[in-house]
Amino acid sequence: MMKIYFELNGEPVYTEIKPGEMLLDLLRRLGMKSVKEGCRTGECGACTVLLDGKPIRSCLTFAAKAKGHRITTLEGLGTPEDPHPLQEAFLEAGAVQCGFCTPGMILVAYHLLSHNPDPSPDEVRAAISGNLCRCTGYVKIVDAVLTAARWKREGKWRKER
Amino acid sequence: MAIKRYHYARDVEEALSLLLAYEGRGALVAGGVDVARGLPGEIEGLIDITAAGLSGISREGGRLVVGATATLEGIRTSREVKAYMGGFLSEVMGHVATLSLRNMATLGGAVVSAHPWADIPTALIALGAEAVWRNEERTERAPVEELYARPFRAIFRRAVLTEIRLPAWDGAFAFEKLSRNAGDIALVNCACGLGLDAEGKIAWARVAVGATPYRAERLVAVEELLAGEVPSEALWEEAGHRAAAEARVGDDMRASAEWRRAVIPVIVRRALERAGRAVMGDR
Ligand SMILES: Cc1cc2nc3c(=O)[nH]c(=O)nc-3n(C[C@H](O)[C@H](O)[C@H](O)COP(=O)(O)OP(=O)(O)OC[C@H]3O[C@@H](n4cnc5c(N)ncnc54)[C@H](O)[C@@H]3O)c2cc1C
Ligand code: FES
Ligand code: FES
């Protein structure tokens, strides 16, 4: 076992990890159940989290790599009581069916909108192209991201998280 | 996994001495995406080299020097890389997996893993990239193409790849990949480069085809066919057919040898056309 320090959704975490364990398993053990295991081979994107603001695949990232870094999961964006505008947009657009892909989709969309608040539909498609959805057919996911982007430009994102 | 320790190497010397001390029971971890997917049972120690000072990207004259732990996305978006050979390498990186993988995966990891289905070896072989590594005795270097003809996996059990050096070429390169969708690996890929002499004839040509499903190789016979000729649609066509005849192709779960042989002329022609347009645009 080894101890690492990192920041999880803005909170300091000092925890024991196994030296060979994956970030996906650590985060779920810490209660971040939005982080899903789809394939564990880097193909599906269900395990996406942000490391220092950039999307990564937590299933292929050693937990030890979180040491000294900022990790963001969907829990860090919004809660059922206080959802993030992206979460609201996904619900409003009907972009969630089983929901398994949704946390990863929202995190890559969040990253996209953080540097491009006015993406074209093609830019949204490119941004989510590494995240597989087996339910929706993607159309409503793209709609949801475009809606959230419009809300952001209209200043409707109450607080930048 | 029976991993007992995870080390964070602060420089190449520390990484190398840890690796050697484990005597085969240690593994270097760059992005770790391949290590995570297939760790041999005997490995006890992981040696992270992402903070070992090997992530730089710089220009040396016309050359480009990329540190082994530069991430694929860092390379794709680098100003130095965009300025090298018309942004060819940046374009190639855009074809590799997806953003969340490229944010972790490194060039050194791609060179050492050398997946036969990958795009990066094809591009590096066409470019005549040189690998530089450090072992117990000295710093060694060899063209990536030559490295793959050696027992390179054994070499990197006792060495740290430090950088990849890309030569300056007077000409242009283009890359083509066929895959089922944007995020998938190649069914077949190719990288072609061309330069013209003062009379507008082809002074040099580089043609590499990969994911056949074997690791990329240069097709020297096609390069020779092109050299000395005047660029034309008919020449690209002829080169494409020659490439299909020369390339070693096989069946795998993704595509048949027959299908690969049928599409190689198309991707080689497309790549030559684009490279040709780029060099002629330069004039
Ligand atoms: C889902 C997925 C999709 C992919 N799609 C593509 C694609 O479309 N096109 C493509 O070209 N490639 C693709 N790849 C391959 C990808 O480029 C490589 O897996 C990646 O670059 C490996 O880099 P890494 O830093 O994560 O390597 P690691 O996993 O850290 O290391 C890989 C191997 O190299 C060794 N190693 C790493 N760095 C060094 C060093 N400096 N010196 C000596 N040994 C070293 C490690 O010990 C290990 O054996 C894909 C991979 C995955 C997982
Ligand atoms: S679980 Fe990580 S990419 Fe599928
Ligand atoms: S909603 Fe079910 S996988 Fe996307």
Residues B155-188: pLDDT tens digits?
A: 999 999 999 999 999 999 999 999 998 788 999 9
CATH 3.30.465.10 location in chain B: 57-166
Same domain, A97 and A138: yes
Same domain, A54 and A8: yes
Checking if the pLDDT of A92 tops 80, the result is yes
Same domain, A44 and A64: yes
Q: What is the CA radius of gyration of chain B?
A: 19
Over pLDDT 70: what percentage of chain A? 98
**Tokens in use for B89?**
């390498």
Look at chain A and report how many structural domains it folds into: 2
CA distance A58 to A77: 17
Checking if the pLDDT of A159 tops 80, the result is no
**B3, B5, B33 member nearest A42 (Cβ):** B33
Residue pair A122/A146 in contact by the 8 Å Cβ criterion: no
CA distance A125 to A121: 6
pLDDT recorded at residue B145: 98
Distance of CA A130 from the midpoint of ligand 3 (Å): 14
Checking if the pLDDT of B217 tops 90, the result is yes
Residue B63 Cα to chain centre, angstroms: 16
Answer whether B36 sits within 8 Å of A61, measured CB to CB: yes
Give the H/E segment covering residue B58: strand B57-60
User: For residue A101, which ligand has an atom nearest its CA?
Assistant: 3
Q: Which of A52, A76, A100 is the last residue of a domain?
A: A76
Q: How many CB pairs under 8 A join A and B?
A: 78
**A20, A108, A127 member nearest B3 (Cβ):** A20
pLDDT recorded at residue B83: 96
Q: What CATH number is attached to the domain comprising A113? A: 1.10.150.120
Question: Where on the phi/psi map is residue B85: left (φ > 0), alpha (ψ -120 to 50), or beta?
Answer: left
pLDDT recorded at residue A158: 72
Q: Domain for residue A94, yes or no? A: yes
In B, which residues are within 8 Å of A54 by CB distance? 73, 100, 103
**pTM score, two decimals?**
0.97
pLDDT recorded at residue B281: 84
Partners of B238 in beta bridges: none
CATH 3.30.390.50 location in chain B: 172-281
Class of CATH domain B172-281: alpha beta
Same domain, A105 and A43: no
pLDDT band, residue B110 (cuts 50/70/90): very high
State ipTM: 0.95
pLDDT recorded at residue B282: 61
Same domain, A98 and A120: yes
Q: What CATH number is attached to the domain comprising A45? A: 3.10.20.30
Q: How far is B270 from chain A (nearest CA, A)?
A: 23
**Tokens in use for B146?**
């030559």
Q: Which segments of chain A does DSSP mark as H helices, in order?
A: 23-29, 85-93, 102-115, 121-127, 139-153
Q: Which of A27, A55, A76 is the last residue of a domain?
A: A76
The mean per-residue pLDDT over the stretch B66-82 comes to 98
Same domain, A124 and A144: yes
Q: Domain for residue A161, yes or no? A: no
Q: Does domain B57-166 have CATH number 2.70.50.30?
A: no
Give the H/E segment covering residue B139: strand B139-143
The residue count for chain B: 283
Residue B261 Cα to chain centre, angstroms: 22
pLDDT recorded at residue B41: 84
Same domain, A99 and A57: no
The parent domain of residue A63 ranges over 2-76
pLDDT recorded at residue B1: 52
